[in-house]
Structure 1
Amino acid sequence: MPYLVTYEADEKELATCVSDERAARRLAASFEAQGLTGVAIQDPGTGEVYSLLAFDLGRTQGRTQPLARKVLQ
């Protein structure tokens, strides 16, 4: 299932689909490193939207849903 990685640029919300979790994390980290705002990853299984930090925390804790989840709106 594809992961949706979103970010904001020029007052617009943009999104890119990637094929797996690793690609989603790398792309989101790249966007944050470029200083883009509103970077988030949508979990394809649940539809929940997480910041990169919350997404990574959940995965390192071995949970399917991040422990410190931050739903972005």
Structure 2
Amino acid sequence: MLVEIGEKSDRVVVVTADVGLSTRAVMFGEKFRDRYFNVGIAKQHLIGFTTGLALAGTIHIATVFAELIL
């Protein structure tokens, strides 16, 4: 599904906090290497990173397990 979204716009960026395999975000990364970022096990950094992407005009999708952000 993420790949289909990425094909519609080159502004779509996917960011994961080391859960790309579980969320299948790696499939997006395989097709769009320049628009896929893995910030590692750094959930707080994921939020700041995607905020910066939003300010730069991207349409970003962050993949993380929600209970880890609370």
User: TM-score w.r.t. structure 2 length?
Assistant: 0.43
TM-score (norm 1): 0.42
**Structure with more relative contact order (C-alpha pairs < 8 Å, separation 6 or more):** 2
Task: Name the structure with the higher strand share.
Answer: 1
Structure having the higher helix fraction is: 2
